[in-house]
Amino acid sequence: MKKCNIDTFEKAVDYLYNMPRFTAKHSMEDTRAHLERLGAPDRKVHHIIHVAGTNGKGSVCTYLRYCLEEAGYRVGVFTSPHLVDIRERIVTDGKMISREVFLRLFLQVYDSLDWEMLEQGEGYHPTFFEYLFFMCMLYFAEEQPDFCILETGLGGRLDATNAVSEKALTVITRIGLDHVEYLGSTIGEIAAEKAGILCRDVPLVYCAEVPEATGIFVEKAQKLGIAAWPVSKKDYRFQKFHNKTIDFSLRTRYYGYVEIFLHTIAYYQMENAALAVRAVEALEERLAQGAEDFKRITEEQIRGGLAKAFWPGRMEEILPDLFVDGAHNADGIRAFLDTVREDGCDREAQKRILIFSVVQDKDYRTMIKQVLAADLFSRIYVPHMHTARAAELTDLQKYWEENAAEGTEVLFCGNVREALDGALASRDGARIYIAGSLYLVGEIKEFFKDDQF
């Protein structure tokens, strides 16, 4: 066996970060085979809920987790990406995995690899995401939460999380055009990849707002003979924004109309909360019939869980009137702009400022067009992010300058800190929004982590 000189959490994280993240995927057979090599930890995990989609996956996972925890259940959650700390990806009982356990499980996966074959240029080595997924499964097998929520990393059919042997429920959030180089160039092709998480005897909850995707989900569910629970705008009704919160009513199957209260100004979170509630109902129907220890989840517990829910980086207010949002593709920007449009600010009387940057493999031309067409911001800062994936500032500058309308000031900055300092110094009562990339949100939150402001 190859001698391992990794003996600290920091060295383990450095090893993971220096592995290629976007290489060609291994086959599902390879991933499943290595799960078996690790002792099949997925077979020791209870009630796996598998969540896929283009936008809203993390929010649905969070809302579902809070509802289940409010009902007294222990919940493990595997999500991506993280914003500041890699341990954000693996959580049980609302707490990140400890550094000590992270290192131990990292070494357990490391020691399971066939180093003799790898040193000959052959054999299996997990990707960044696969490695963390294996650690997650080992951790949840130890912790034994009542429910395990897995968020896909990319796609669904070939995603490492799809290697688990058994699921209790699948959930698919809103579908949009993203990662087209991996998943397909049309909504239908992308939806087909996401639908790859569906299984026989496992019900599906899905967003029914994109017709081309909905048809594919319904067709596959019918072929598998499984129940499919749709969620659309017909199921919920916005009531009001109140002191940076949202009140809306939700039509449910078991609880009738439920009044929901969310601590967010993000208009799009109504859809994600509705998907989470429908998932609770689907779990109720599935588990109440065969699980003797399953406790019914009440309307009060659902409302209480949603009221407590918090998902960092999704229209999160990190300073008074300074919001960060993880919108990082065209559909995410659409939802972000819908929320900004309803925030009650007058463009002239109470101006808005935007800090915006993107990674190079996103359709940033469409995203920039959306921002400019909305005409919601009087000043826009465009910084270069501290990541190898960042779009070049010269490319962004050219496109912004070619398309910016008169009356919109666009300023270009060499780094994110310069843009943030500029926005804060010149705000004069303006509301500041930050969007375009989760890398950008992560950089911003890193500044605030140690009370640098």
List 231's β-bridge partners, or say none.
207
Q: Which domain-ending residue is among 308, 334, 367?
A: 308
Nearest to 54 by CA among 264, 329, 261, 319: 329
Mean pLDDT of the chain: 89
3-state helix, strand, coil split of the chain in percent (to 5) is 45, 20, 40
Quick check: 422 pLDDT over 90? yes
Does residue 165 form part of some domain? yes
Percent of the chain whose predicted confidence (pLDDT) is above 90: 64
* Strands laid side by side in the 322-324 sheet: 316-319, 322-324, 431-435, 352-356, 379-383, 409-413
Please indicate, yes or no, whether residues 85 and 40 belong to a single structural domain of this protein.
yes
3-class SS of residue 8? coil
Spatial distance between the Cα atoms of 219 and 226, rounded to a whole number of angstroms: 10
Spatial distance between the Cα atoms of 332 and 149, rounded to a whole number of angstroms: 22
Quick check: 423 pLDDT over 50? yes
pLDDT score at 347: 56
Please indicate, yes or no, whether residues 210 and 336 belong to a single structural domain of this protein.
no
Determine how many CB atoms are found less than 10 A away from the CB of residue 81.
Answer: 18
pLDDT score at 233: 93
Domain that residue 381 falls in? 316-449
Please indicate, yes or no, whether residues 179 and 245 belong to a single structural domain of this protein.
yes
Start-to-end Cα distance in the chain: 48
Q: Which domain-ending residue is among 244, 277, 308?
A: 308
**Crossing angle, helix 269-287 and helix 57-70, to 10 degrees?**
50
Does residue 4 form part of some domain? no
Spatial distance between the Cα atoms of 54 and 362, rounded to a whole number of angstroms: 13
Please indicate, yes or no, whether residues 252 and 142 belong to a single structural domain of this protein.
yes
pLDDT score at 287: 78
Q: How far is CA 24 from the centre of its chain?
A: 22
> Mean pLDDT over residues 197-214, rounded?
95
Sign (positive or negative) of CA dihedral 178, 181, 185, 186: negative
Contact criterion met (CB below 8 Å) for 203 and 285 = yes
What DSSP string describes 29-79? Answer: HHHHHHHHHTT-GGGGS-SEEEEE-SBSHHHHHHHHHHHHHHTT--EEEE-
Please indicate, yes or no, whether residues 325 and 355 belong to a single structural domain of this protein.
yes
pLDDT score at 23: 45
71: tokens are: 């009902």
pLDDT score at 290: 61
Please indicate, yes or no, whether residues 303 and 320 belong to a single structural domain of this protein.
no
Q: Write phi, then psi, for 51 (nearest 5 degrees).
A: -120, 125
Spatial distance between the Cα atoms of 387 and 406, rounded to a whole number of angstroms: 31
Does residue 3 form part of some domain? no
Summarised one tens digit per residue, pLDDT across range 119-149 is 887 888 999 999 999 999 999 999 999 999 9
CATH code: domain of residue 132: 3.40.1190.10
126: tokens are: 């997990």
Please indicate, yes or no, whether residues 399 and 301 belong to a single structural domain of this protein.
no
Quick check: 22 pLDDT over 50? no
H or E element that contains 238: strand 236-241
Does residue 364 form part of some domain? yes
Quick check: 180 pLDDT over 80? no
Q: Is the bond preceding residue 81 a cis peptide, omega within 30 degrees?
A: yes
Spatial distance between the Cα atoms of 129 and 126, rounded to a whole number of angstroms: 8
Quick check: 452 pLDDT over 70? no
Please indicate, yes or no, whether residues 39 and 129 belong to a single structural domain of this protein.
yes
Summarised one tens digit per residue, pLDDT across range 323-372 is 999 888 888 899 899 989 888 776 555 689 999 999 888 888 899 999 99
Spatial distance between the Cα atoms of 116 and 96, rounded to a whole number of angstroms: 34
Spatial distance between the Cα atoms of 349 and 296, rounded to a whole number of angstroms: 50
Quick check: 183 pLDDT over 60? no
Q: Which of 70-74, 184-188, 251-255, 409-413 has the highest mean pLDDT?
A: 70-74
What's the angle, vertex CA 153, arms to CA 152 and CA 158, rounded to 5? 75
Phi-psi region of 375 (alpha: psi -120 to 50; beta: other; left: phi over 0): left
Contact criterion met (CB below 8 Å) for 434 and 324 = yes
List 378's β-bridge partners, or say none.
none
111: tokens are: 């020691």
List 52's β-bridge partners, or say none.
172
Question: Any residues with CB less than 8 A from the CB of 120 and at least 6 apart, and which?
Answer: none
Quick check: 66 pLDDT over 70? yes
CATH code: domain of residue 402: 3.90.190.20
Does residue 255 form part of some domain? yes
Query: How many domains are contained in the chain?
Result: 2
Spatial distance between the Cα atoms of 409 and 401, rounded to a whole number of angstroms: 10
Question: Any residues with CB less than 8 A from the CB of 401 and at least 6 apart, and which?
Answer: 410
Contact criterion met (CB below 8 Å) for 131 and 16 = yes
Quick check: 3 pLDDT over 80? no
Nearest to 164 by CA among 276, 61, 32: 32
- At 117, the pLDDT band (50, 70, 90 cuts) reads confident
Does residue 268 form part of some domain? yes
Q: Write phi, then psi, for 322 (nearest 5 degrees).
A: -130, 115
Please indicate, yes or no, whether residues 283 and 346 belong to a single structural domain of this protein.
no
Question: Any residues with CB less than 8 A from the CB of 12 and at least 6 apart, and which?
Answer: 6, 102, 103, 106, 107
Spatial distance between the Cα atoms of 301 and 75, rounded to a whole number of angstroms: 15
